[in-house]
Amino acid sequence: MRPRSVEESRVIMTELVLPNDTNPLGNIMGGRVMHLIDVAAAIAAGRHAGRPSVTAAIDEIVFHEPVPMGSVLMLLASVNYVARTSMEVGVRVEMEDRTTRERRHTASAYLTFVAVGEDRKPMQVPPLEAVSTEDKRRMREAEERRARRLERRGRKRGRPEA
């Protein structure tokens, strides 16, 4: 399998925050942001794998500040790390003020996706080629998160720590 670069998986998704997306305070609902994060991440994972990929886990979603109705949301997603059948995708959510075009970081998330075949069973994915210094840093940090995830999973299943 030919390695694929981080750039090949990159997604920039843009959404306008409409009244139906908001809570009684006039800000976008967290659940709506989570949905958009999952969609952007699924597109990035699918681009890398070259096939449908499903959400296996979400490490955490951190909300930094509210996003008012009428704002533009920019979701920036790309694959950070690849194992045999799974991929970590990072998503950064930014709010863009429609008047000033100023952008602010409003949320972040890391998700794990698994590529699936026609039989809906996990399939091997191409290796990830980290080209830039930033790509390499993100890959290194993703490897560390993966090690922590596997360690937690082992403890939950009653396995001794390695």
**Terminal CA-to-CA distance of the chain, rounded, Å?**
31
Confidence category of residue 15, pLDDT binned at 50, 70, 90:
very high
pTM of the model: 0.91
CB 56 within 8 A of CB 113: yes
Average pLDDT, the chain: 94
pLDDT score, position 1: 84
Contacts of 144 (CB under 8 A, 6+ apart): none
Cβ of 113: how many Cβ atoms within 10 Å? Answer: 26
CATH of 4-156, one of 3.10.129.10, 3.10.310.40, 3.10.580.10, 3.90.1150.10: 3.10.129.10
Domain regions of the chain by residue span: 4-156
pLDDT, tens digit, 9 for 90 and up, residues 50-66 = 999 999 999 889 999 99
Q: Which of 94, 111, 107, 134 is nearest to 48 (CA)?
A: 111
Decide if 137 contacts 74 (C-beta within 8 A): no
pLDDT at 56: 95
pLDDT tens digits for 56-98?
A: 999 889 999 999 999 999 999 999 999 999 999 999 999 998 8
Phi then psi for residue 39, to 5 deg, are -65, -50
